[in-house]
Amino acid sequence: MGPDLQGVTARRDRTWLSRFLQAPDVMRAKQDPLAVALSARFPGVTMPNLGLSATDVGDLLAYVETQTAWPVAPALPFVKSEK
């Protein structure tokens, strides 16, 4: 599993996120320090180049921001059924 995306737009610069989402392979090839660090921290989980347009990336980041803004519901306690 790769890095958690919840709150990523608050942790990372939006310009960097946009570049990474559009061309993660290029950023790794250029030895971008953060892209290289992510590859090292999550071996075997390499973000592929999905061929996203600038519009796609903007929509994706807006979606992630929206999902991050929603409060996470607490897990319900496990209740064993008595049958």
Q: What is the pLDDT of residues 7-16, one digit of tens each?
A: 888 889 999 9
pTM (two decimals): 0.76
The domain segmentation of the chain, as residue ranges, is 8-69
Residues 6+ apart with CB under 8 A from 58: 18
Residues 6+ apart with CB under 8 A from 25: 48, 49
Q: In the predicted model, is pLDDT for residue 72 greater than 60?
A: no
Please name the amino acid found at residue 76.
L
Q: In the predicted model, is pLDDT for residue 5 greater than 90?
A: no
